[in-house]
Structure 1
């Protein structure tokens, strides 16, 4: 009897995962499109967003990084901004804009080229690219076959770092939730580091190289704050000092704000009053972590958060699903649930639904609480999505297993079923 009980528990666990596999594959055919409004509101949500938005203590400003808005400046006007900042001796200047080719304004291009060549430590962004043929042969975002860089007259004195921030969005207008970034990617056989990593390397090579030593294909961004947020997209105070376009032109800042600091130039709207969505992302700091309506952070500020994380060595330790940890935990939890529910099914059949539903609700609540607690206090991201799905299905799936699956393989039970059918006729 005991042997049969454990065999049933194992087979029922397999059955639960089989149902999960079927549900996942059927959903790929989009037969539940009627529920898309609900799905769209929740698909970009991560339970750890709650910790980012509500549970963490307000961070202190990172005075090592200053973010400067370039608005819609021409190249000549941008050159003027960079020249003004460079005279106050920043340690590193990073520019989050790709200077793609030359403009008709030849003098503007020459002026910008001259100014950039005078910067001691300059980082320009590049872009990782996959041609269609290469993308068809190499699925995923680990390998690329080309690198798009600025025109040589601008990059002759510059380091390059790719600015790609991978999201699930298909276009600029789609929801772009940015939770992680790739520290390094290969173009052919050549290794290239991310823009934020390269800036951090020039500022503090020892600390920056530690993120590469972690050898993670993707790192969760440990967001700590935004810049000027006039419209309250986030609840966080300003994390980084920021200068608007006119602040630089009129030199409305103190020299100590720039000297020996990291200065990032990037687009943040026409000015700080602008609500532009261009180069803007949803992040876990967004007030509305489900059903988001407005993006909350410009790309250059995302890079600032990454740099701050690297220099403060404030990483999120994420369980690597490639090692099968999440699946192993899910199988173990599912097996325990199935075993407990099997005992209740045989010994307390009248109480089965009430007890199992209560156990499932308590377990799901405890796991969600544990995930949020570990993330908010220890920066440890635990991915137990499969476990949660297994718990939610275990009770009903077990009834199907005992009431249908087992009976199909029992001659006497099959005979009873067909006898009932004949009497009904």
Structure 2
């Protein structure tokens, strides 16, 4: 009976100490989110856009094969008439779907003939519209938008949309549409952007809209795409396959998609029918040409050769869409663990460490400082490797950030608990609790005596 009470008291103390450690971790995370220490943490800022599992994409896995289902064409700075000529040349060889990631519309808020001549010079856009209509199975791009009222209501900090930006109506009769928005950490389009995830579908005013890449995949293979959507994940991690030709060497696994530069797509002698027939053709901006060093519509991805402290974005948005399509058609998905699993693992690991520290402190107190630091260090290294290889072997993104944070502070938190919190509890709060329990005990005895007399 006495042993059972000791064990119960031991685990109660472990629970209290672990709760204190998590309170410390919560306080530190809130302070860091305020950014008040950013000026003292240049390393943290450099690594802020890095996830440890990026190493799997850029350093560990085998070289992926070329995806022969997809051809990517650069539209460069071509006029709409010239893009129409590209489409006519391509559609002649019967692709299964053509997806065009280019907007042809007016700048937001401008509809006059000076700022938006495209809306009035419809004759100039007619060749492109006819090329799109004649090609069939064309996907045009849209953009998810928030109205002013919705933006003011939520401050813009929420993934709820109530409108779409379309390309000109004259260009899209009979065409499919899909939104090109990608999930990034950037506040503005001009900011440097990291892209690891995307939203497969979104509700806009009660209507389901598919992402640009998902819509193209649906036309190509509806069975596989419906299986992908049946996962019913609001956000999916992109399983990057590779990049297009990269003469600047910013990306791992370059040349995993067949490509045509703008001038090649204008000349049918520059490509063969086998590149196009029954394939997915993606058209969009890949720079002025393949030698261009422009960062327009370019993202940091896990394939960046500098997975930490990135300096040069490595992938155009159109190629990100190609990687999403490859993931869907190859059914090579990534599963991301839920938040509650992350915190449950963190708390269990924290409790086990606290229990071990109590044992060491009672049995071999002289060794506590050295052993506790060594135990924390070994576990952090092990968990970092576990995250990387679990992702590599099983395609499961195991988020152990909270666990790593708990391990980083558990030693200090444990010592604070024993030297400060426990003493305050014993000297001050314990007195009041004991007095309170004594009062309750006296009242209970008086009530019992009174009932006995009655």
* Matched residue, 1:90: 95
Decide which of 4, 10, 21 is 2:9's aligned counterpart.
4
Superposition pairs for residues 16-415 of structure 1, below 5 Å?
16-101=21-106, 102-103=118-119, 105-138=121-154, 140-251=157-268, 252-321=270-339, 324-411=340-427
Contact 1:317/1:381 (<8 A) preserved? yes
Q: Output one character per residue of 1:71-97: Cα deviation in whole Å (capped at 9) or x when no partner.
A: 001111111111111111111000001
Alignment CA distance shift 1:217-1:20 (3 Å): same
User: In structure 2, what is the Cα distance between the partners aligned to 1:100 and 1:152?
Assistant: 9
Distance apart, 1:315 and its partner CA:
0.2
Indicate the larger mover: 203-212 or 299-308: 203-212
User: In structure 1, what is the Cα distance between the partners aligned to 2:315 and 2:396?
Assistant: 23
Q: Output one character per residue of 1:113-141: Cα deviation in whole Å (capped at 9) or x when no partner.
A: 11111122010111001124313434754
SS at match of 2:313: coil
Indicate the larger mover: 150-159 or 280-289: 150-159
SS at match of 1:233: coil
User: In structure 1, what is the Cα distance between the partners aligned to 2:85 and 2:20?
Assistant: 67
User: In structure 1, what is the Cα distance between the partners aligned to 2:317 and 2:48?
Assistant: 22
Contact 1:208/1:311 (<8 A) preserved? yes
Distance apart, 1:374 and its partner CA:
1.4
Distance apart, 1:394 and its partner CA:
0.7
SS at match of 2:359: helix
User: In structure 1, what is the Cα distance between the partners aligned to 2:61 and 2:427?
Assistant: 60
SS at match of 2:303: coil
User: In structure 2, what is the Cα distance between the partners aligned to 1:223 and 1:380?
Assistant: 14
SS at match of 1:276: coil
Contact 1:66/1:264 (<8 A) preserved? yes
User: In structure 1, what is the Cα distance between the partners aligned to 2:32 and 2:184?
Assistant: 21
Distance apart, 1:103 and its partner CA:
4.9
Contact 1:407/1:414 (<8 A) preserved? no
User: In structure 2, what is the Cα distance between the partners aligned to 1:58 and 1:103?
Assistant: 47
User: In structure 1, what is the Cα distance between the partners aligned to 2:378 and 2:214?
Assistant: 42
TM-score by length of 1: 0.94
Alignment CA distance shift 1:191-1:413 (3 Å): closer
Alignment CA distance shift 1:141-1:261 (3 Å): farther
Q: Output one character per residue of 1:226-282: Cα deviation in whole Å (capped at 9) or x when no partner.
A: 001001111213111000011111221111111110000010000000011000000
Distance apart, 1:29 and its partner CA:
2.9
Contact 1:94/1:124 (<8 A) preserved? yes
Distance apart, 1:150 and its partner CA:
1.2
Alignment CA distance shift 1:263-1:141 (3 Å): farther
Contact 2:202/2:209 (<8 A) preserved? yes
Contact 1:58/1:237 (<8 A) preserved? no
TM-score by length of 2: 0.88
Alignment CA distance shift 1:412-1:165 (3 Å): closer
Indicate the larger mover: 364-373 or 139-148: 139-148
User: In structure 1, what is the Cα distance between the partners aligned to 2:32 and 2:383?
Assistant: 25
User: In structure 1, what is the Cα distance between the partners aligned to 2:24 and 2:148?
Assistant: 36
Q: Show structure 2 runs of 5+ residues with no match.
A: 1-5, 107-117, 432-454
Contact 2:21/2:409 (<8 A) preserved? yes
Q: Show structure 1 runs of 5+ residues with no match.
A: 416-425
User: In structure 1, what is the Cα distance between the partners aligned to 2:405 and 2:7?
Assistant: 28
SS at match of 1:214: coil
